[in-house]
Amino acid sequence: MGRFDNKVVLVTGGTRGIGRAIAEAFLREGARVAITYVRSDEKARELERMGVLAIKCDVSRRDEVRKAAEVVRDRLGDVDVLINNAGIMHLMPFEEFNEELFDRMISVNVKGIIYTTLEFLPQLKRTRGVIINIASNAGIGTAFEGTTYYAVTKAAVIILTKRMAFELGKYGIRVNAIAPGWVETDMTTANRSPEEVERVKALVRSRTMLNMTGVPEDIAKVALFLASDDARYITGQTIVVDGGRIDYLTHSV
């Protein structure tokens, strides 16, 4: 028996990295899992072979999200747990602002959460469901060079989480966020050689209390907790999962 037997869980951006780890974790706990994805067709087919419902859907397009909500309802039933994980990161120095790339991050990282929540809200009202938004510790103030504009979008996710919790609490819906630190995923290692990745990991380790870096499964375990009845009295919160990096930078000379 799993903790989420017969519960319906949707993970946006669920074919890679943190999203995939979350999808697989809920699957192991007995949930009926659906994911959305944009480009990773081969990875989506892998998940389908595991029993996941994979739906091609760009969360920045509300019409596509609306169709995805209909598919999930018709194939699996009403969603009990919504994980707003889909996100993108474009690196750019502050002085080299690229409006097109910034707008794209806003569309996916912020509007994507709004659209997905609104389109699945009728289902979540019926199930008195749970929403978990994936933010970042960058949205609290800690980030690498070139991530300022990405951090702005993740700060928006954090305040959006609080406001959603306030607005939706009357329906019995809990809304929380997870703010990961540096986690080794396709996104964080993109366009870096293995040697560069190791240098980044060493830098991150040197700036955390636990002297370690994270893996997607670390985030998935927190998502399981927040979605469970163990967290029934928790809403409007952002759980930072970064090995103590924020506190390290705040309190160290």
**CA–CA gap between residue 54 and residue 172 (Å, rounded):** 28
CB 30 within 8 A of CB 1: yes
Given this model, what pLDDT does residue 143 score? Answer: 67
Backbone torsion region of residue 237, taken as left when φ is above 0, otherwise alpha when ψ lies between -120 and 50, otherwise beta: beta
Who wins on pLDDT, 197 or 214? 214
Give the chain's mean pLDDT.
93
Query: Can you give the pTM of this predicted structure?
Result: 0.94
Q: pLDDT tens, 133-166?
A: 999 999 997 667 889 999 999 999 999 999 999 9
Tell me the three state secondary structure of residue 173. coil
Q: pLDDT tens, 45-90?
A: 999 999 999 999 999 999 999 999 999 999 999 999 999 999 999 9
150 is catalytic: yes
Going by the DSSP 8-state scheme, the letter that residue 247 receives in this structure is H
Instruction: Give all domains of the chain, ordered by start, each with its CATH number.
Output: 8-251 (3.40.50.720)
Please tell me which residue in 37, 149, 150, 233 is annotated as part of the active site.
150
Tell me the three state secondary structure of residue 196. helix
Q: pLDDT tens, 110-138?
A: 999 999 999 999 999 999 999 999 999 99
